[in-house]
Amino acid sequence: MAMAFSVRMLLFSSLFLLPISVFSQNNGRVAVGNSLTATTSNSSSWLSPSGDFAFGFLPLGGDDLFLLSIWYAKIQNQTVVWHAYEDNNPIVAPKGSTLNMNASSGLVLNDPHGMEIWKSETTFGVVANGVMNDTGNFVLQDKNSGSLWETFNNPTDTILPGQTIERNGKLSSRQSESNYTKGRFQLRLQDDGNLVLNTINLPTDFANEPYFATDTTAGTLEGKQLVFNNSGDMFVLRENGGTFILTSAGVSWVRDSYIRATLDFDGIFMLYSYPKNFIGIASWSPLWYQPNDICQALMEDTGVGVCGYNSVCKMNQDHRPTCECPRGFSFLDPKDLYRGCKPDFIQGCEADEVQSPRKDLYDVEMQTNTDWPTSDYMRLKPFTAEKCKESCFQDCLCAVAVFRSETCWKKKLPLSNGRVQFNLSSQTFIKVRKDNVTLQFPPMPIPPPMPIPDDKEKSKITVIRVGSALLGTSIFVNVAALCLGFFFIFRKKPVRSSTDIVLDSNLRSFSYEELQEATNGFTEELGKGAFGVVFKGAMQIGSGVEVAVKKLRYVMQDVEKEFKTELNVIGKTHHKNLVRLFGYCDEGQQKLLVYEFLSNGTLASFLFSDIKPSWKQRIEIAYGIAKGLLYLHEECSTQIIHCDIKPQNILLDDYYTPRISDFGLAKLLMMNQSQTHTAIRGTKGYVAPEWFRNLPITTKVDVYSFGVVLLEIICCRRNVDVEGNLEERAILTDWVYDCYVEGVLDAVVDHEVEALGDRATLEKFVMVGIWCIQEDPSLRPTMRRVVQMFEAVVEVHVPPCPSPYTRAG
């Protein structure tokens, strides 16, 4: 008796432990005034009557970030079928955020501080309640049960039974399986009634030609709706009432299984089933898909291949593509194999020019039935396989040659739309640089190409970016100039003949007349600064190449031999994170430098533009800059202190790899020297405090500047913000340290979802930045130590206050 009473009391008391959402729901209904909180408890979702679907906050790989979404509640992997979005970005809420339902605005999502993150777009009527249906549709209803807003009318990448898509409606893929940001594939029912699959050129919505289409466009046969009915049939409903059948899952499948059709991140539109009430481990099974072979479907007019540039696409038995890199290439991002591949070697006309014969530079990788059909630039016919291979060897533009049917197709980088086609009957010759001239340093992941502005805008941006990068209009350029001047005065070492110097490096000596012709009489000015003026030009260096020609101001008398000696040092530097110097001109007072032209601009323009670069891109850029400085400080024959590290002096190449510029015009020290004294002065910002205190100048001045740049990369804002309204945020270095001490790094990255999802890296990079900006140079790490901390080879300890003396005052 006592036991029975205890059981009844236990059951009664457990009712008070049930989540609030259970009491607030009546057959899936949610009353106005109810709310959800982003936590890991059951109160973070509203369930449909059967419990099949949940609407609310789904944790994203941890307890701190939540996706506002709808998912299958009874499936272990909680497959998402809809998520809230705005401007192509998923709505991800930090822990403690609340979703409220009110009569005037419908659903309103606020962060823990009460700031609005998102709301449903209800344009008319008063909300009476919400309903989470067993179809997977969440509806906001008025008092007459009419629909004011529903998730079925705002689809993401999935369509469910009972759902339709009207003309101009679409599904958009994710960027990857775990990244809910809008991807580059979409399914659209066009205005002409044609249902298509196509790629878009992000971040715009510019649509490439379809790689699948129903061709339902003629007269009364035009498509009116894409219908996925409750019987599992998917078809295009025509204007005349007829149908264009896509597929049928069948009533039995719908009764016994969950059914969904999803445009996956790899561009395949697939119908899936998952058994209901299954005991054990199950998975989603494909019932139908389009296109049949995504590797073959994507061609030149339909956009770059599913695997990105320089890759090879193969179809697996599960009807999904797999991506591979040819020998000599590696993935841009080993964690995302669909972003493409990059060469692990330097290939091109400039690199080939310094060594002859060119054939000795390369090996050949032989493959069969592999092609990049959209990268051809020359076709030779009739030809033989041996001649095809030899022609590619002798052509500095040629990266790959494909031979079949007495025809040779020569292809250049980047290679696009690569695939294996077993009936091709071809021989493929891939040029791979030999080991003794490959990159000296392990490759690091490289960001994918970013969207390019239109031609008119691009030309303006390019001129501004490159000019400022090579010159630098701030006072810090004077710092570097004085470094060079003091070095010329105090350095005493034997000077060799000009001939010896030129032979020791790969630099080419140009005549003034050559450079005058290359720049069309120095007409297109990119910018001017303390060192001189930079002009855009074009030269035949192996093949036609754009260059930036810097015309130096004449500073001192009798520096010709020293000038060439310094150029010899620069000419021996070779690293993928340094801007390349092609050559020079030294004719009396005419002293000019010829650099490679990098049209993707400066790090400053990249960081401080309206479009915020991804977190992954930013940490890769920071790592690349660190590697470049490590090379200058420790790994080239003559130690180089840059003296002027800042975002304007870091350029980005075609793959957005950082390239340090103007390093040859800074202080140069012999390897047995560790410091020098100068009387240089400057203003605060990127300049280390020792410049102002007449202290010894070492490589630690570059470490300080790098620390400032690193914090700018993390925050995507300038070190000094004179236009901001908040005084405490005006100096970035001080504000970031305060945020670090107070444990509010969310504010440092402006609550950026990607960065907060990688909190360990965020904290590590902030700590490294604070170590680098210590006022005491002895406390700053070397660049080798910085790289080791980035690579987790050494532990990053808690940094002290970077400016104790300044703050104490």
Residues labelled catalytic: 644
Strand order of the β-sheet with 257-263 is: 158-159, 257-263, 269-275, 285-290
DSSP state at residue 152: G
Cα dihedral 417, 421, 424, 427 sign: positive
What is the DSSP annotation of 673-725? ---B-------TTTS-GGGTTTPPB-THHHHHHHHHHHHHHHHTS-SB-SS-S
> Tokens 């007459």, residue?
144
Reference 330, options 343, 339, 348, 321; nearest CA is 343
Q: How many C-beta atoms lie closer than 10 Å to residue 799's C-beta?
A: 18
* Cα separation of the two ends of the chain: 77
Reference 584, options 524, 665, 521; nearest CA is 665
Contact 81, 71 (CB under 8 A): yes
Angle at 181 between CA 177 and CA 184, to 5 degrees: 80
Reference 510, options 576, 605, 593; nearest CA is 593
For 337, residues 6+ apart whose C-beta sits below 8 A from its C-beta are: 307, 322, 323, 331
Contact 537, 519 (CB under 8 A): yes
Which tokens belong to 190?
């066009």
Which tokens belong to 129?
């309640």
Reference 605, options 469, 702, 732, 736; nearest CA is 469
Angle at 154 between CA 166 and CA 115, to 5 degrees: 155
Which tokens belong to 687?
């300049």
Query: What is d(CA 623, CA 764) in angstroms, rounded to the nearest whole number?
Result: 13
Cα dihedral 117, 122, 125, 130 sign: negative
What is the DSSP annotation of 452-516? ---HHHHHHHHHHHHHHHHH--SHHHHHHHHHHHHHHHH-------HHHHHHTSS-EEPPHHHHH
Coil vs helix vs strand at 309: coil
Q: Is 293 exposed, middle or buried (0-12, 13-18, 19+ CB in 10 A)?
A: middle
The phi, psi pair for 407, rounded to 5°, reads -125, 140
Query: What is d(CA 571, CA 355) in angstroms, rounded to the nearest whole number?
Result: 15
Instruction: Tell me if 550 is assigned to a ligand binding site.
Output: no
Half-sphere exposure of 602 (CA within 13 A, CB side): 24
Query: What is d(CA 796, CA 793) in angstroms, rounded to the nearest whole number?
Result: 10
* Omega cis (within 30) before 799: no
For 506, residues 6+ apart whose C-beta sits below 8 A from its C-beta are: 354, 571
Q: What share of the chain is helix, strand, coil (3-state, %, to 5)?
A: 30, 30, 45
DSSP state at residue 200: B
Coil vs helix vs strand at 175: coil
Contact 143, 128 (CB under 8 A): yes
What is the DSSP annotation of 204-227? S-PBPPPSEE----SGGGSEEEEE
Task: Detail the residues annotated as belonging to a binding site for ATP.
Answer: 551
